[in-house]
Amino acid sequence: MKDVKAIVLTGYGLNCDYETEYSFRLAGAEACRVHVNELIENKGILRESHLLAFIGGFSWADDHGAGVILASKIKNHLFDEMQEFIDDGRLIIGICNGFQALVNLGLLPAIGKNFWERRVALTYNDSGNFIDTWVRLKVNQASPCVFTKGISSIELPIRHGEGKFYAPDDVIDDMIQNEQIVFQYEENPNGSLNDIAGICDPTGRILGLMPHPEAFNHATNHPDWTRQGKTGLDKGEGIKIFENAVAYIKENFL
């Protein structure tokens, strides 16, 4: 059987690349870290891959807004290749800064499969402060999201200064009707409308979320792992998200 190939996009202040690569490998994928410039110069890398991860960090230091420059660079240099990647039914995940980039690109929420049109925003937390904590998330079982199959709730860490999800009422209504709201905070840490922590496109193949599943790749990542009766041999709950993605590619492409 051929390998499931995952690209973890790196460069210019992105800093969760090793954890994300490790998480994909734990899930059974052949993962590699690829600098955004390398991807632009060698577009064949994208065509040969099944999964693309936009990761956390502070791309271009968020100087012009979180994920703004990364989104502009991708759209200007990889528009056709990204559209082909989406049309082929491959998978994209955006985590934290990656979610912000997908929103700026318009790949989320892509209501009516209208990609490349920005409809929502991730803006400054209501507290005005950077937040670094663990949150429990409700997972929408009716969502078409490929990444969350079999997950009803999950606890993950967040670390962001611009994580408040904002959108006009009609856009949120459309997302509710289409079951595109995938993750909601049980206790809202940042003021996100409708407690939204993550959304998908109408196909369920593009996912964006502010919490970090790659940062819960091992049981001992959790501050209460001993109280939970976990051992050093246990995977973290976040790996299930990556395993679902790998299983989907194996079933539909390999």
Q: Which of 21, 162, 214, 243 is catalytic?
A: 214
Would you give the DSSP letter of residue 2? P
Query: Max CA-CA distance within the chain?
Result: 49
Residue 41 CB-density burial (10 A; 0-12 exposed, 13-18 middle, 19+ buried): exposed
Whether 218 is catalytic: no
Whether 155 is catalytic: no
Interatomic CA distance for residues 196 and 165, integer angstroms: 6
Q: What is the 3-state secondary structure (H, E, C) of 32-79?
A: EEEEHHHHHHCCHHHHCCCEEEECCECHHHHCCCCCHHHHHHHHHHHH
CB 17 within 8 A of CB 35: no
Q: Which of 50, 160, 212, 218 is catalytic?
A: 212
Do strands 181-185 and 196-200 pair parallel, antiparallel, or not at all (unpaired)?
antiparallel
Whether 214 is catalytic: yes
Report the amino acid identity of residue 137: L
Angle at 16 between CA 12 and CA 21, to 5 degrees: 115
Q: Which of 96, 200, 218, 243 is catalytic?
A: 96
Residues of 62-88 as b/e, b for ≥16 C-beta within 10 angstroms? beeebbbbbbebbbebbeebbeebbee
Cα 71 to chain centroid, rounded: 14
- Residues catalogued as catalytic: 96, 212, 214
